[in-house]
Structure 1
C-alpha cells in the first residue's frame, strides 16, 4: 500500500471541553479512522497549541489549535476492475455516483475486490493517488443512492471540509416498521455497540449524531420517511430509527428483518420476505463545487426493488 502526505490544521470547538483528544479530533477528520488517529498521536504526529501530544486519552478544554502532519494509505495496490458505474455528474474535479444496493464502497477484509473503489480505479487510474480513491463519504453496502468522489487532492480536501462543516445537503428516504404520528429530530450520540462488534448503538460517550425526519406516507403498519442528516455517523439512520422503535424494513442487523404484520396478504408477506436489505435510499445530494464555488444538486429515484416494496405496502397495507 502506498502512502500520501496528510496535513490538517483546525481549531477545536469550545463545546469539545472534557473530550478525549482522539475523540475531539476525530470529529474533524472523518476521512481517517479513530485507530489511525490514535496511532498518529502515539507517534507524535499531532500537536496541540504547538505542543506534541502522545496520549489520545488526554482531555481537551476546547478551542485548541490542532495540527496533524502524517502520512495516509492511498489506493496504491488495489486492483482496477471493469465494474459499471452509474455516473450522474463528472468533471475534472469530482464525480457523483448513483451506487446500487449490494455494492461495497471500500475494500476490506472479506471484500478485497468487486467494490466501488475497484470500479473507480478502472474508470480513472489517477484516483489511485488519493485517500480512499477520492471517496469523501460512504454508503452502507445495501444502501442505494448518491455519493461524491473527488478527482484531485484539492477537491478532496475542500469536500471533506464541507462535510465536516455540515454543508452537504443529504436527503434519504426509508421505509420503517410501525406507524409514526409525526416527524421530528433525533439527537442521540452514536458509538460502537458495547457487546456487538458489528453494530453501532446510541451510547452516552458516542459521537454527536443528529437526524431530521419527516413523514412522506403513513400506512397501517409502516411509515415512509424523508430523512436529512446533519451529521454522518456509521449506520446513523438505521441506528436512530431502531432507537425510536421504528426499525427499517429488511434491516437484519438492527430491526425486524422477517417481521410481518398479522393479517398481511400473501403478496405483502412475499414482498417483505423477499426484500433482503435495509429499505434505505440516498435520494438527494447537494454541495458547493470545490473549485467554482457553485452549489450543485442531484436527485435520483429509488431502485426498482424499493419501489416495488413500497407499492405493495401501499396497495396491501393501506395508506392512512
Structure 2
C-alpha cells in the first residue's frame, strides 16, 4: 500500500509522518532502514526538512508472507488495499499453535493470497477463539495494524456478539468486574488482581430453556463474554469450560458486527458477519428460528 500527501508546512519528515498518519517511532525507524519514505521521488532521512508543496510518498508493502498455504476457502466480507475482514469459520484456529501448525486461518489466507496474486505479512488486529465464529480483521501492513489495534485497545471499536445460552431470560443486564487468570492457568474468573471488564447484554429471543443474547463488550478481556454470561447463570451452549458439556460441537458464540474508523479514509467502517450454519442449526433445534 502506498500513502501520499502534499506538504503544507515546513517541518521535518519525522514530524510530518507523525502528524499526518500518526506513525509510531518504531514504524518510522523501520521505514528509514528499508528506505521506503520518499520526498519528491527521492529517499530521505527522517530529519530531512520538508518544503511546502513537496510530495511525501510512503511504501508500506515491504513485508512479505513467510507461512505455508493451506488449501481452504475463506469467507471474505470486505477487502481493500489495507485490510480484509473475514467471517471466520468455527473450529478453525486463527494462528499456528499446538496441534494446528499449518491448517489455520493464517495459512488459509496465504492460499487466498496465492490465488489473488497478493503477498503481504498477515497481521490480525484482534483474536477470536478457535470455537468462536464471525468477523475477524486482517491488516495488510504494519501501519494499518497499529492503527486498528490502537482502536481496540482504547475501546474505540464497537463489537457485537451473538450468544446462544442455556436457560431463559427476557430483558437486558450489564456485567462488570475484574477478570483474571485462575490458579489452574486455564479458566478466567472474577478476582481482585484482575483487569476491569464490562459487557452489556440484550435478549433477542428466548424459549423456556434457551436464550439468544446480543453481547456488547465494552472491554476486551480473554473469555470475557463467556465468563460474564456464565456468572449470571446463562452459560453459552457448547461451552464446556464455563458451562456444561452438551451435544453442541462448539461454543455458540459469534462475532456478528464490528464498527471502527478506517485508518485510510477516516470514515466509519461497519461490517456484519452472517451466522454460520452450525449456529443456525442449533437455533432451529432450540426452536429459536
C-alpha distance in 2, partners of 1:254/1:6?
A: 42
* Correspondence 1:158 to 2:147: yes
Offset of residue 234 of structure 1? 1.2
SS at match of 1:112: coil
- Unaligned runs of at least 5 residues, structure 1: 9-73, 259-272
Checking the alignment, whether the CA contact within 8 Å between 2:83 and 2:139 is kept in structure 1 is yes
Structure 1 segments (4+ residues) deviating >4 Å? 74-77
Residue pair 1:191, 1:207 contacting (<8 A) in 2 also: yes
Counterpart for residue 282 of structure 2:
309
Per the alignment, residue 222 of structure 1 pairs with: 210
Query: How many pairs align?
Result: 227
The one of 293, 298, 301 aligned to 2:266: 293
**1: CA distance between counterparts of 2:109 and 2:191?**
35
d(CA) in 2 for partners of 1:77 and 1:296?
A: 29
Give, in whole Å, the separation in 2 of the partners of 1:218 and 1:185: 18
Asked whether the equivalents of residues 189 and 207 of structure 1 are also in contact (C-alpha less than 8 Å), the reply is: yes
Is residue 219 of structure 2 the alignment partner of residue 231 of structure 1? Answer: yes
Query: Is this contact kept in 2: 1:104–1:116, CA < 8 A?
Result: yes
Which of structures 1 and 2 has the bigger CA Rg? 2
Deviation at 1:193, TM superposition (A): 1.5
RMSD over aligned CA atoms reads 2.2
Q: How does 1:86-165 map to 2 (within 5 A)?
A: 86-124=75-113, 126-128=119-121, 133-165=122-154
Secondary structure at the residue paired with 2:287?
Answer: helix
Report the TM-score, using the length of structure 2 for normalisation.
Answer: 0.73
Structure 2: segments with no counterpart, 5+ residues = 1-23, 28-62
1:218 Cα deviation after fit: 2.1
Q: Is the Cα contact below 8 Å between 2:73 and 2:112 reproduced in 1? A: no
Give the structure 1 partner of residue 174 of structure 2. Answer: 185
Mapped to 2, the partners of 1:235 and 1:126 lie a distance apart of 32
Mapped to 1, the partners of 2:26 and 2:194 lie a distance apart of 26
